Each structure stands twice: as C-alpha cells, then as structure tokens.
Amino acid sequence: MAKEFKPSVVTANDLIEGDSVFLGALGWVRDIAEARVALSRDEAEVLEADGVAGEDANIVVGPYLIEVSVATGRPVPVLRRERIRVSGVPTIPFGVAAPAERRAA
Amino acid sequence: MYRYDEFDRRFVDERVAEFRDQVERRLTGALNEAEFKPLRLMNGLYLQLHAYMLRVAIPYGTLNGRQMRMLAHIAETWDKGYGHFTTRQNIQYNWPKLKDVPDILEALATVEMHAIQTSGNCIRNITSDPFAGVAPEEIEDPRITAELLRQWSSLHPEFTYLGRKFKFAVTGSEHDRAAIKVHDIGIQIVRGEAGEVGYRVLVGGGMGRTPMIAKELRAFLPKADLLPYVEAILRVYNLHGRRDNKYKARIKILVHETGIDAFRDQVEREFATMDRAAVTAPEGEMERIAAYFAPPELTEKPSAPVAFERMKTLDPDFAQWVERNTSAHRVPGYVAATISLKPIGGVPGDATAEQMRAMADLAESYSVDEMRITHEQNVVLPHVALGDLYKVYRGLAAIGLEAPNKGLVTDIIACPGLDYCALATARSIPVAQAISKRFASNKRQREIGPLSIKISGCINACGHHHIGHIGILGLDKAGVENYQITLGGESTEDAALGQRLGPGFGYDELPDVIEKIVDIYLDLRQGRRETFLQTYRRVGMEPFKEALYATAD
Ligand code: SF4
C-alpha cells in the first residue's frame, strides 16, 4: 500500500548563501511560513517540478520535498533533521556565543 | 616546518585561480550543480545542513602563528567568528558563502595553506603524530615521510580519481598517537636489524560502516622503497578495488575479501615488476624535506626550575594542568603542552577567532612559533620551556582553554552531527556537552583516570566512535534519536574496535548510561591504576550488560 500522503513543502539550499530556502508563492523564501504547501500528491508533484526548475535556473541546490504538519497554521517539518534545518542554526549555542555562555553558567 | 617551494606555490595559486573561474561560471549559470559539485569537492567545499562548509587542510596538523592568525581572520571576515578542528587534523568553517570561497582560498594561499585533498575520492590530507619531533622515544620525525607522501600524492594524476577516498597516517614512534591502524595505509617508522631506519607498512584499516583494524603488509621496508611500494599498493587497489558499490570500495574491503596474504603477493608482484626508479623520490629530496623539519635549537634547561615548582605549589589548578596536559620532550627542561579544546560543556574542537589568535600569540612567544592539531581535536604547543609554562597556562585561562582534562572522560571527541552535517542521523555535540557537564568535577575525572569517549552522528564515524573506550553512535529510529554504545575500542598500537553493548539508548538517557558504565568500572577495577580499558579487557562485556539491561523493566 502506498504511504499515506502528508502535506509537504519544497526546500533546498540557496546557491550563493547556502542556507535553507523554501519554495513560496512568488519564488524562494527564507521563512517556511511563506512556503507553498502541497495538500495532495498531485500538488506535491507540481511543487517538486517547480523546485527542480529552481535548480535548473541556478537559484537553489538540491531541492526536495519535506513532510510538514500544518496543525498550527505554520508548517512544521515532521523530521527532526528538517526542523533543525528550518531553524537555520544548530540546536546549541555556537561560535562566539558558546564560550561566553559557559563562563556565565 | 615545511615551506612551499616555487613549484608548490605556483600549483596552489593556479588552483585558486581555476576555482575562482569555476565559481564565477557557477554563479552565472554556465556550470550547473552536477558539473560543479565534483569541482567544489576537489577544493574542500561541501554543502551542509545550514550552509556551505569549507574544509581546510593542515598537513600533518602542523601550523605556525601566522597561519593560525589567518585562520582567525578568515573566521571573522567570511564566517561567524569561529572554526571547528576535526579528527583529521583539519579545520572546518561552517558558514562560508559560495561567492566568498575564492577569496578565502586566496587568503589561505598567502600563508601557504589550501583546501586541496580534503574531500573527494583522492588521497586525503596525511595525518601524523601531534608529538612529532618532540617525543623522546621517536625514531625519526614522521612529518618528513608525510610530506614526501603529500608531494607524491598531490601531483599524481593516476590517483586523483580513486574508487573512494584514501587515508594515510604516519608515526615515528612505537607508541602510536596517529591511529595508524584505522587508516587505509598506516606507516610506522622502525629500525631494521642493522639499526637502519625503514618502515613497517599496514594496510586495510578504517572506520565507517565496516570498521577494520589494518593488517601488516610489510614488517620492514627500506626507506628508499617507500614511494614505489605505496604506488604498487595503490595500483593493485585501483585495479581490483570495487567501483560498483560505494560501500565496498575502500581498500579495507579489498584486503578483507582478497585476504592479506594474497593481497601481499599482488603488491609484491607489482612492486617487483614496476619501474621503481620512475617513482622513487629524487636523490636528495628526502634530505631537502628533512631540513625543513630540523628540530629547533633548544638549549637544555633545568628539569625542575625553582619558580616553576613554586607556582605548582601556589596554584594547585596549574599543578593539575601540568600533570594532565603536558608530555615529555626530548630536550630536558621542555614539554609539549596540550591545549584542550574541551572546556566543560563546550563544543569539542571549536575555537573562536579570539582563541585562535591567543594560541598563535602563545606559540610565537613560547613554542618556537609552532602548533599541532591532534586527532583528538586539541591543539599542542610542542616546545614549551618549563620556566614559561605558567605564563602559557595563564594565557590559556584568559581565553577559557585551561581545562586540565587531556585523555580524561571530558576530553570527548565529537563530530558535528545533526547540528551541522547533512548526512547525520542524530546529534553528537549536545550529547558530548551533557556528558561533559555530568563529569565536570576535576577531582572525579582524575579519580576515573584515562577514558576516551568518542561520538559520531552517523555510521560514517567521523567521530571515531569505533575506537573510543566508550563509543557512541547516533542513529535514527523511526524519527527518534537513538544511540548505540560500544565498549573497548582503542586507537593506539594495541588498537581494537569497540564491541556493541546492546540495544541503543535515547538522547536523554545518555548521561545516566555513561555514568553507570563508569560506576561499574570504578566498582570492578583492581586498584586505581587499572584503567577503564584494562578493566574492560579483563572482565569483558558481561558485567556492563547486566547492570545496564537487567534492571530495565
Ligand atoms: S559521522 Fe556522520 S554525522 Fe558525523 S560528521 Fe561524519 S558524516 Fe556527519
């Protein structure tokens, strides 16, 4: 049996900046809240094709579909990996913030 | 240390110019990602979870103050102000922008550094003993051999596109601090029967999803035969290694499937029939390289200067740091000092630009302008006079890098894991931080004694979990992070692969689980001098298994 369909968005890395981007109504956006959400398999196929077009146009790298939950209105990825990507940063204080926080602790 | 000659300089400059052109063509769309990806990988540029990642080579882990300052400058100018030192003695930047990478490479080239051979299916940056040229028992500085191999491999067209990546490590001491037994080719400098210097050659070690301990290919290889012999190995690998399956393409699989004796026959046959003269290093080349690694002229000094002894009495924290973080030097009155990049709760291997500059200052003032990066993700100041040690210690304390924990339970190795890495199945850094905080007390750490914890965020094993006394491998089980634990791994001359304890544990359980393992060890050990590894080897897995799984519901 085919896997149950879950709402999905298309994500990729920006070609120049390298950060996570999402396919929105008018192009690639950095806030997943503005991402187009596919609610059916057919919509997902269209979305995916649009993502690939973004790679062909050299705007993004490696587009792929991720499953999201839309319970709160804002799409939240199902997988931890994608949630971390969406946040745009590690789950821990990093770089110059890291040692300072440790000293304060 | 090694300085570029005209040839090296031209080679690196040309590569920078070439990559600048490739990036430009990528940005204008003349190259698509499929065309560009292999090119960027050849220049150390990956695409990770949140950004591009640039891996910069630090050949055999050696660098000077000027180079470290440049690493700091790059971190501040084109990244977020820090870098990550890896288990391959390299540094990684986590946030570069594609358009800036050519400028970064150009900046690196001004201090004779680059990102070549840090990625892709080539012979990778060659690693070595962080105490090279320092350790009293060393036969010869292994970096001379490492540099010879680097030159041979950098320019070798035949080996630029191997079936898979290929890693060398070289040690000049019997005590192996370069983990040569888990490399594709491990080289140990040894003495022959007549006292002449040569090599013991190991082959087929590695980690990843199919970990193996390297096997001995040659007990003694005359020095002059090194390049033809490794070339013979590479040729046999190139000819017979599998290219149909990425997971079976490493030489360890070939050696394992062929059997070491049959593999040796093939290599020896190739070696016997090849045109060795065409490959052998030109007369005088080894001497030319050796001159760069001539030991610095250090004047012998008292082995217990009065001021040093007094400071140890006055400042017990300093005394602890000296005891843990300094190692013997071949010249009396000096030590090699290890700067732990593992402050309690920190990110293993990370250093900020400010810390890099401070380390560069200390190296320039007190360590003949030299530093080493270790595969334990620490930094070594290799030549510090005892009389200067307190100043070094205070300098480190000022930047929060005075942890006296070298080789102890909080000296944890961790790969970037799911916080950065696109391949990760679970996080490793926060796991390391939680364990580090749990064992924060110096007193307790010293009571426990030598214990290495190594954490990888996926089966690729960049965090060397297979050779940790306690290894932790982060996996994904139906969307939940799950950590498999191995015990009894070891990286040195008596290298061993850790054995699986049993079913994995959840993220939140880990500090408790590790603490339990440590407590069982403390309970079972025969006296304080029996290390964790010795106890494990004596009692085996059972007592640990029992305590951890029997009580669970
Ligand atoms: S072990 Fe896996 S998660 Fe860790 S750095 Fe390597 S590839 Fe990434």
Per residue in B496-529, pLDDT (tens digit) is 999 999 999 999 999 999 999 999 999 999 999 9
What is the pLDDT at residue B526?
Answer: 97
For residue A21, the chain B residue with the least C-alpha distance is B50
CA distance B41 to A80: 27
Q: Closest ligand 1 atom, CA of B417?
A: 3
Centroid of ligand 1 to alpha carbon of B4 (angstroms): 32
Confidence of residue A104 (pLDDT cuts 50, 70, 90): very low
Tokens of B412: 């944890």
Q: What mean pLDDT do residues A74-95 have?
A: 95
* pLDDT on residue B281: 84
Report CA-CA distances (Å) from B234 to B136, B204, B231, B399, B429. Answer: 33, 12, 5, 45, 36
How distant is the Cα of B51 from the closest Cα of chain A, in angstroms?
4
Domain-located, residue B336? yes
Q: Residue B343 and residue A102: Cβ atoms within 8 Å?
A: yes
The pLDDT of residue A1? 54
- What is residue B411's predicted lDDT score, i.e. its pLDDT? 98
Closest among B163, B162, B161, B143 to B151, alpha carbons compared: B143
**Which residues of A are less than 8 Å from B40 in CB distance?**
none
Residue A101 pLDDT level (bands cut at 50, 70, 90): low
Distance (Å) from the C-alpha of residue A17 to the closest C-alpha of chain B? 5
- High-pLDDT (> 90) share of chain B, %: 82
Quickly list H helices, B95-170: 101-109, 142-154
Looking at the structure, tell me whether residues B437 and B483 fall in a common domain.
yes
Q: Is residue B407 part of a domain?
A: no
- pLDDT confidence bin for A105, thresholds 50/70/90: very low
**Alpha helix locations (H) across B192-305?**
226-240, 251-258, 260-273, 276-279, 285-292
pLDDT at B164: 83
The answer to whether position B98 is within a domain reads yes
Q: State the DSSP H helix or E strand holding residue B537, giving kind and residue range, or none if neither.
A: helix B532-539
Angle made by CA atoms A53, A55, A57, in degrees to the nearest 5 = 70
pLDDT at A99: 61
Q: Do residue B146 and residue B260 come from a single domain?
A: yes
Residue of A nearest to B397 (CA): A103
Axis-axis angle for helices B142-154, B285-292 (nearest 10): 120
Report CA(A43)–ligand 1 centroid distance (Å).
Answer: 34
| pLDDT given for residue B298 in this prediction | 94
| B134 and B278, same domain (yes or no) | yes
What CATH number is given to the structural domain containing B45?
Answer: 3.90.480.20
Q: Which residues line ligand 1 (CB under 6 A)?
A: B 415-417, 421, 423-424, 456-458, 460-463
pLDDT of residue B551: 56
CA B477 to chain centre: 29
B508 CA to chain A: closest CA distance, Å? Answer: 15
Q: Does residue B145 share a domain with residue B61?
A: no
Q: Quick check: is B403 in a domain? A: no
> Are both B22 and B168 inside the same structural domain?
no
pLDDT attached to residue A73: 84
Contact assignment for B352 to A95 by CB distance below 8 Å: yes
CATH number of the domain residue B187 falls in: 3.30.413.10
Domain-embedded: residue B360: yes
* Residue A72 contacts B where some CB pair is shorter than 8 Å: no
Last residue of a domain, one of B240, B269, B292: B292
Taking the Cβ of residue B421 and every Cβ of chain A, the question of whether any pair is shorter than 8 Å is answered with: no
Decide if B418 and A84 are in contact by the 8 Å CB cutoff. Answer: yes
Kindly report the number of other CB atoms within 10 A of residue B98's CB atom.
Answer: 22
Q: Say yes or no: B34 contacts chain A, CB-CB below 8 A.
A: no
Residue B43 lies in a domain: yes
**Domain-terminating residue out of B353, B369, B397:** B397
pLDDT tens string B443-476: 999 999 999 999 999 999 999 999 999 999 999 9
How high is the pLDDT of residue B414?
97
Give the range of the structural domain holding residue B149, as residue numbers without chain letter.
127-292
The CA-based diameter of chain A, rounded to the nearest angstrom, is 54
- Ligand 1 centroid – CA A50 distance (Å): 31
Whether residues B365 and B513 share a domain: the answer is no
Question: In Å, how far from its chain's centre is CA B548?
Answer: 32
Q: Which of B415, B467, B472 to mutate to test the pocket of ligand 1 (most atoms within 8 A of CB)?
A: B415
Domain shared by B192 and B135, yes or no: yes
Give the C-alpha separation, B45 to B259, whole Å. Answer: 36
Single residue among B357, B372, B397 that ends a domain in this structure: B397
Q: What separation in angstroms does the CA of B169 have from each of B77, B176, B189, B388, B544?
A: 33, 10, 11, 32, 33
Tokens of B104: 């970064």
Q: How far apart are CA A104 and CA B109, in angstroms?
A: 38
- Walking along chain B (553 residues) 10 residues at a time, the average pLDDT comes out as 73 92 95 93 93 93 96 98 92 97 96 84 87 96 93 76 85 95 96 96 93 96 95 90 79 93 96 91 87 92 91 97 97 97 96 98 98 96 97 97 97 97 97 97 96 97 96 95 98 96 97 98 96 98 94 51
In a domain, B349, yes or no: yes
For residue A6, count other CB atoms closer than 10 A to its CB: 15
pLDDT at B239: 85
Co-location of B319 and B383 in the same domain: yes
Q: Are residues B341 and B426 in the same domain?
A: no
Q: List CB contacts (< 8 A) between A19 and chain B.
A: 50-51
Instruction: Work out the angle at residue B346's Cα, subtended by the Cα atoms of residues B341 and B352, and round it to the nearest 5 degrees.
Output: 60
Q: At what angle do helices B510-524 and B532-539 cross, to 10 degrees?
A: 80
For residues B189 and B149, state if they share a domain: yes
pLDDT at A55: 95
The identity of residue B237, as a single letter, is Y
pLDDT, mean over chain B:
93
Contacts of B27 in chain A (CB under 8 A): 15-16, 58
For residue B351, the 8-state DSSP code is: E
Residues within 8 A of B (CB atoms), A 10-69 only: 13, 15-20, 55-58, 61-62
Same domain for B267 and B320? no
Q: Within an 8 Å CB–CB cutoff, is residue A98 touching chain B?
A: yes
Q: Cα separation of B363 and B3, whole Å?
A: 18
3-class secondary-structure state, position B306: helix
B421 CA closest ligand 1 atom index: 8
- φ, ψ for residue B200 (rounded to 5)? -100, 130
**What pTM was computed for the model?**
0.94
The pairing of strands B185-191 and B168-171 is parallel
Q: What angle do CA B74, B352, B370 make, to 5 degrees?
A: 75
* Single-letter amino acid, residue B251: I
Whole-number Å distance, alpha carbon B61 to ligand 1 midpoint, is: 20
- For residues B319 and B223, state if they share a domain: no
Bridge partners of B480, per DSSP, are: B477
Count of domains forming chain B: 4
B1 in a structural domain: no
Q: How far apart are CA B23 and CA B101, in angstroms?
A: 8
